[in-house]
Amino acid sequence: MSKYQFQQSDIYQPGTDLPINRLDIGDAEILHEIEAQLLLQAYETFVLELVAETRFDEAYFQSLHQRTFDSLYGWAGQYRTQDMVKGSSMFCRAAFLPNEAQRIFKELEKEDYLRGAALWPRERFADRLAYFQSELIALHPFYELNGRITRLFFDLITIHNGYGPIDYGLALRDDPEVDNNYIRASIDCVQRADHALLRELVLAGLSSSESES
């Protein structure tokens, strides 16, 4: 990965929220479709690469972003160097981001990357997973694609433990009728360090691999 630090102005096409991309695509729908394809391929690739020894560490997390989106974005896998806000939430200050990321992944390492969770009650797994997910949601380390890469990361952990990927169901829909949605849960994570709502979503979405789905 290069040492070059990307500024926000290097990321977006002027006057839009569309990222500058290697294919020079200026059409939002086409870009989103390509992102969706790349993410789908990434699920296949990374699930196939899982082995008992896989360490879900910081390098692994960054490599998910890098390898999934490198063909499209020059900043894939690079942490942001500017502060970022969504709605009324401010994510981790860019100045603290590298240390904060290290702290989170050190904690995750202490819990052996949740690799023992196949033997735990589902509630305990959901709680620890939602806790670490809430920390990464508040970190928001990349300029874009944080939600998808964070969910991919935790899906790989659930799959490693013999579960299927987490089914967030309606919570991921952009639907104001659904009130316990992923964004509301994220707001609690970022603004109150509270992962209770997210834990509910995770617990509801954990299913035991192919056999039950």
Ligand X SMILES: Nc1ncnc2c1ncn2[C@@H]1O[C@H](COP(=O)(O)OP(=O)(O)OP(=O)(O)O)[C@@H](O)[C@H]1O
**Pick from 134, 198, 128: nearest CA to 157:** 128
CB closer to ligand X, 137 vs 157: 137
Tell the smallest beta-carbon distance from residue 205 to ligand X (Å): 14
Q: How far is the CB of 185 from ligand X (least distance, A)?
A: 8
Q: How far apart are CA 138 and CA 194, in angstroms?
A: 11
CB of 110 to ligand X, least distance (A): 24
Beta strands in the chain (DSSP E): 85-86, 89-90
Tell me how far, at minimum, the Cβ of 85 lies from ligand X, in Å: 9
Q: Nearest to residue 152, comparing CAs of 60, 26, 24? A: 60
Interface with ligand X by CB under 6 A: which residues?
86-87, 89, 137, 144-148, 182-183, 186-187, 190
Smaller CB separation from ligand X, 18 or 115: 18
Task: Point out which residues pair with 86 in neighbouring strands.
Answer: 89
Name the residue among 177, 156, 161 with its Cα closest to residue 115.
161
DSSP for 10-59, written as a single string: HHB-TTSSPBP-TT----HHHHHHHHHHHHHHHHHHHHHH--TT----HH
**Nearest alpha-carbon partner for 88 in 196, 195, 187:** 187
Which CB atom, from 41 or from 209, has the smaller least distance to ligand X?
A: 41
Query: Minimum Å distance from CB 38 to ligand X?
Result: 12
* Minimum distance, C-beta of residue 209 to ligand X, in the bound complex (Å): 24
| DSSP state at residue 173 | S
Question: What residue is closest to ligand X based on CB?
Answer: 147
